[in-house]
Amino acid sequence: GTLPRGYNIDQNRERLGKGGQTFYEATASLRAWQMFKLGWVELFPPNVQIDVGATVAVLVHHFGFWSLNACRVVYVIEEDRRFGFAYGTLEDHAEQGEERFLVEWLPEDDSVRYNILAFSRPKKWQARVVRPMSRMLQRKFARDSIGAMMQAVHRGLPNKPLQPTAEKGG
């Protein structure tokens, strides 16, 4: 669909590997919220089922303090070669927007890609004041999330080397 005007748009993609086994591992990793197992970010509840309406709280440790932001799953994509979901921010979240996490198995080259697409803007005055730091954290989350997915997927694959080929857009 069309992305809304007046928001920061961020899209980050990573090739996770090739083939059906990689897609299976990537889907399982996404379902297990592996992209949030970063050390400085925690998800509550940690293993919530990915269903429309599921609510999660994202606990983030940054700049010496913690912030807690609530989100709700707004849609799920479950197709033969695509799996993912998006969540939207809830009332008490510092930002306003959505973030989509998607794994795709592309038929043209057999590659499996992880894609994060987000649109956001500050909602609370505190978020507006620290906007440059918020944007830095968003970029760090994208990088670390990609790394976590790479590790999770390749832990499940027999003897496959890690070969990241990051793409950035938006």
For the stretch 131-164, pLDDT in tens is 888 889 999 999 999 999 999 999 987 755 544 4
CA–CA distance, 84 with 150 (Å, rounded to integer): 16
Quick one: CATH architecture of 8-169?
2-Layer Sandwich (3.30)
Do 71 and 89 meet the contact criterion of CB atoms below 8 Å apart? yes
pLDDT for 170 beyond 50: no
CA–CA distance, 69 with 42 (Å, rounded to integer): 11
Is residue 144 within a helix (H) or strand (E), and if so which, with residue range? helix 131-155
- Per-residue pLDDT at 159: 57
Do 27 and 114 meet the contact criterion of CB atoms below 8 Å apart? no
